[in-house]
Amino acid sequence: MRTVTVNKNDAGQRIDKFLTKFLPSMPQSLIYKSLRKKRVKINGKRAGEQDILSAGDVLELYINDEFFDTPTPEEAFTKIRTPKVNVVYEDENILLADKPQGMVVHSDDKESINTLIAHIQAYLLQKGEYNPKDEHSFAPALCNRIDRNTRGIVIAAKNAEALRILNEKIKTKEVRKFYQCIVCGIPKQKNDTLTSYMKKDAANNLVKVYDHPVPDAKTAITKYAVKKAYQKHALLEIELITGRTHQIRAQMSAIGHPLLGDGKYGTWGNAPLLKQQALCSYRLRFEFASDAGLLNYLNGKEFSIRPVDFGVPTEKL
């Protein structure tokens, strides 16, 4: 039998979800069997699958030692000696990082260590704000994501409550996200709202855009405003109303104005000027329409990074 005391980052979640994270080598079927067989107790009483944990709860786990003693692989962030985190804003609950072009936010089949979240976790570890040995089920996590070749602001939560709140606020569109981009050609409409339907093509790692509903497609809504017109290109500010994969790139291409440097959704005029898409998530604003708990102090605050020129001389645009 093992005893575990629930900490504040474990609190607020169901016991079955906690056990899944706390005992990653234990099959889900055995976790639920242990709950049914009364092998998990909370404060001396039988735990039910739907029970919600509170800080200070004492768990008694009558579970085989093999699931506790399984060696865990070394976390990627522990291998990072000099974290590269461009901090835009930071407090005890959140961190806003300016992700550079070329860095992935999470590990993928090409990169497992040099990721934004790994650098943030290493940064917090070295600051003494995060120690995985003190946590049962939580690690600092990202609340939003942007493409590898897009620069810009990404939100990270330092504790479980901040993560829960921000995930909900992003879902209910109470965090406004603004981008800058350069597109090929100059849109006739200087301000417009694009509404289309996007369907993932996983085999080719892209999305297809439709002007009408189709099965399995999701609604995508984007607002744009032309900030500056050049000879053959335009600088746009874009606000994402929804957050679909490759939304800006795919929608702008669909109306005949692909992003400069975007070889996936349009190459017209791109090759001589830029090798990566001219896209930057440069500004965000917290606009909470309802209570945000411990993050209420963020309501109305706006954060930004300096506008980007994308390294293209104006005379070539």
The 10s digit of each residue's pLDDT in 113-138 is 889 999 999 999 999 999 888 888 89
Mean pLDDT of the chain: 90
* Domain 2-67, CATH class in plain words: alpha beta
Q: Largest Cα–Cα distance of the chain, in whole Å? A: 74
Q: Which of 43-57, 98-112, 196-210, 266-280 has the lowest mean pLDDT?
A: 266-280
Say yes or no to pLDDT of 271 above 80. Answer: no
- Cα–Cα nearest to 314, from 252, 256, 234, 236: 234
Long-range contacts made by residues 207-216, C-beta under 8 angstroms, separation at least 24? Answer: 207/244, 207/245, 207/246, 207/247, 207/250, 208/250, 209/250, 209/251, 209/253, 209/254
pLDDT of residue 91: 97
| pLDDT of 293 higher than 80 | yes
Which pLDDT score, from 0 to 100, does residue 204 have? 85
Q: With CA atoms as reference, report the closest residue to 85 among 41, 124, 27.
A: 124
**pLDDT tens digit string along 228-260?**
999 999 999 999 999 899 999 999 999 999 999
Position 132 scores a pLDDT of 87
The answer to whether the beta carbons of residues 160 and 11 sit under 8 Å apart is yes
Average pLDDT of span 43-48: 92
Region 272-278: what's the mean pLDDT? 74
Residue 274 has pLDDT above 80, yes or no: no
Lowest mean pLDDT among 27-31, 106-110, 241-245: 106-110
Q: What are phi and psi of 48, to 5 degrees?
A: -100, 155
* Range name among 28-37, 114-123, 303-312 with the lowest pLDDT average: 303-312
> pTM of the entire structure?
0.87
Q: How do the domains of the chain map onto residue ranges?
A: 2-67, 76-171, 175-316
Structure confidence at residue 76 as a pLDDT band (50, 70, 90): confident
Domains 2-67 and 175-316 share a fold: no
The CATH H-level (homologous superfamily) assignment of domain 76-171 is Pseudouridine synthase (3.30.2350.10)
Can you give the pLDDT at residue 29? 92
End-to-end CA distance of the chain: 68
- The pLDDT assigned to 273 comes to 64
Split at pLDDT 50, 70, 90, the class of 215 is very high
Looking at the predicted structure, is the pLDDT value of residue 268 above 60? no
Residues 6+ apart with CB under 8 A from 279: 147, 149, 150, 151, 152, 179, 180, 181, 248, 249, 259, 262
pLDDT score for 71:
57
Q: Domain 175-316: what homologous superfamily?
A: Pseudouridine synthase (3.30.2350.10)
Separation CA 185–CA 238 (nearest Å)? 16
**Mean per-residue pLDDT, 272-279:** 77
Q: Measure the CA–CA gap between 31 and 40, rounded to whole angstroms.
A: 9
pLDDT at res. 134: 86
